[in-house]
Structures are given as C-alpha cells and as structure tokens.
C-alpha cells in the first residue's frame, strides 16, 4: 500500500492536481490499483456544478492516468522521469461520480515499447463502472 508521500516519490503531481489518495496494489510495468475519496471540498465542485456537484470526466481520466503512471514510473528504468499523455482512446463515461464516492482506479498496462506504454483503465464506484479508457503514456 502506498500513501500520498510514497505516490509523490513516484509521480510529480501535487495538490490540488494529485487525484489519487492511495495505491492499494501495484506491479511495476504491469498494473496499479488506487483510490480517490471524492470530497465535497474538491475545488472543481465550486463550478461543476454548484447545484448538483459531479466530478468532471476529464479529471476521472486524469486520475486513471496518474494510477497508470505509478505502474509505468515505478519501473527501474523510468524512476525519476515524467509520464505524459500520448493519447486517450475509447473513453466512456457511464456513471456520475459525486461527493462521498470512493473511486476505485485500475490501470493494466497492455502494451509497452521503449518509452511508450498503453494502459486499459477503469474507474468504478461500489462496483459500478463510472468510466473507462485506453491511455497512452509517453515517458520522458
């Protein structure tokens, strides 16, 4: 289990853009599973949407990418590097994420070649699919 301090040793994101609270399990270069406890105090809820707060889909995708980056950047040859988006494919949003939700974030690296990796990612709340995407990582 990795807490925020350990996550920050692997990826460069910091508050308010660190969107992962913990990593429950990971295997370098293979997969990672993490969680985001969605609080009403998140800054994005001030404007999205004040009367009915919903976590923006692009931030769910970013949280998935951060979990995937933990898998990619924890590999020995990638330590100290940064993971950049190379692409987002097949993104789907199926269920709203709202304050009080515990968002489970999973990313399995399905392809790697040199500094590029592709991950199949899913975000769920209480077992319900909230979002999914295929993410391309470029390590630099």
Can 95 be counted among the known catalytic residues?
no
Q: Whole-angstrom Cα distance, residue 73 to residue 3?
A: 16
Category of 90 on φ-ψ map: left (φ > 0), alpha (ψ -120 to 50) or beta? left
Beta strand extents in the chain (DSSP E only): 22-27, 31-37, 83-93, 102-113, 116-125, 128-139
Closest by CA to 67, choosing from 123, 39, 105, 36, is: 105
* Given 13, 15, 48, 95, the catalytic residue: 48
Residues designated catalytic: 48
């Amino acid at each position: 289990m990795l807490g925020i301090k350990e996550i920050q040793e692997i990826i460069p994101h910091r508050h308010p853009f660190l969107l992962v609270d913990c990593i429950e399990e990971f295997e370098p270069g293979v997969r990672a599973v993490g969680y985001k406890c969605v609080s009403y105090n998140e800054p994005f809820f001030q404007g999205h949407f004040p009367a009915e707060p919903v976590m923006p889909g692009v931030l769910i995708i970013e949280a998935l990418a951060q979990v995937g980056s933990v898998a990619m950047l924890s590999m020995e040859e990638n330590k100290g590097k940064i993971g950049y988006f190379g692409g987002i494919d097949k993104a789907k949003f199926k269920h709203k994420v709202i304050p009080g939700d515990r968002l489970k974030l999973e990313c399995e690296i399905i392809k790697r070649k040199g500094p590029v990796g592709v991950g199949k990612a899913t975000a769920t709340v209480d077992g319900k699919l909230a979002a999914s995407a295929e993410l391309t990582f470029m390590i630099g």
